[in-house]
Each structure stands twice: as structure tokens, then as C-alpha cells.
Chains A and B, each alone.
Chain A
């Protein structure tokens, strides 16, 4: 799910 996705963008 999205909650586990790291936000890897700036």
C-alpha cells in the first residue's frame, strides 16, 4: 500500500 512507499522525490 502507499503508506509503506517511501517518498523518494524532492
Chain B
């Protein structure tokens, strides 16, 4: 959605380049298993689409439509996310191997990667409606996994504590936005915050 939005509007205004850079890093470190294991054609396709879209979005923001990118409001310090997340992925993981640590890093980083975008909206006090749709579906994507994990726990005995805890954290971070989306955007109003 975000790649599409920038492509058709020719502007990167209102989109956090820092969040998009973090997502590119998330998908790159998560999907290194493209080289080591095959799950399904669907799984492989989606991984490639996520990686391609995240890099395309970064290219659009920082290269093609750089003049329209609102960097002055994109001031979240990403090192405050990357450094602790990097440390934690070395300390708490399923297996102390390079691929597994990178996978863990990507799971932890994804859970907080939206913070620069939410911070940017809180600074500017508004967001375009299509940007709110993007954020809603990005949040919903992980929130639905919570339901899926309960299902898989009961019916397959599958349980991944790292993914579940990170997924809960990620979903909680979206809660305030979900509230605004339902009470404002779904009622036809633009998302604007009181000054």
C-alpha cells in the first residue's frame, strides 16, 4: 500500500523514511532463509514481494521523490531502537547461530519499526487517509497472527515464544492508532490530532 501510495502520488510527504528503512532491514534479515529452506511457493513469493516493496519504497523516498520527503518531521532516533534490539537478539534467541540471531533481530526490530512513523504523525498532527489505511493493515497483519498463534497452539502444538511476545508488543504499539482509525478515519474524517 505504501509503495503504491508514493508511486501514484509522486510524493513521499507524511511517510517516515526511517520506518521504511527499518522495514527493509527487517525483511532482509528475516528472509535470509530464502537461501536455506523452502516452505511453499506462496511463502517464497510473499517474502520476495515484501523485500522488493520495502526497497522500492526506500528508493522512492530517499532518491526518486527525495524533494517531497518531509525529513524535518522524521526525527526519531533509530539508533535507540537498533542498538537495544541488536543486543537483545544476541541475548534472547532460540539458537546462537548467525541466521537465527538475524531472524530474532528482525522479529524484535519489526515490533518497534513503526515507531518513527507514529512519532512523525504525532509531530505533524495529521496523516493522509491512505497513509492511515496502510498503517491499519500493517498493524492488522500482525494482530491477526495473535489469533493464528492461539489456533496453532491448540491444533498443531506450535508455539514460538519470541514471535508471540514480539507480536503482542507490536500490536499494543498500534492500539492507540487503531482507536483513532476506528473513531475518525472509518467515520469519514481525516486523521488529525489536537495541537
- Residues of A near any B CB (own CB < 8 A): 1-3, 5-10
B46 beta carbon closer than 8 Å to chain A: yes
Considering the complex of A and B, which 9 residue pairs feature the smallest CB-CB distances, nearest first?
Answer: A3-B95, A2-B94, A8-B39, A6-B37, A10-B46, A3-B94, A7-B103, A7-B33, A3-B100
- Residues of B near any A CB (own CB < 8 A): 30, 33, 37, 39, 43, 46-47, 50, 94-95, 97, 100, 103, 145, 160, 163
CA–CA, A2 to B50, complex, Å? 25
B47's partner among A2, A3, A5, A10 (CB-CB below 8 A) is A10
CA–CA, A1 to B61, complex, Å? 42
B43: chain A residues at CB < 8 Å are: 8, 10
Q: Determine whether the beta carbon of B37 is less than 8 Å from that of A9.
A: no
CA–CA, A1 to B100, complex, Å? 13
The residue of chain A having its C-beta at the shortest distance from the C-beta of B162 within the complex is A2
B33: chain A residues at CB < 8 Å are: 6-7
A7: chain B residues at CB < 8 Å are: 30, 33, 103, 160
CA–CA, A2 to B94, complex, Å? 6
CA–CA, A2 to B159, complex, Å? 10
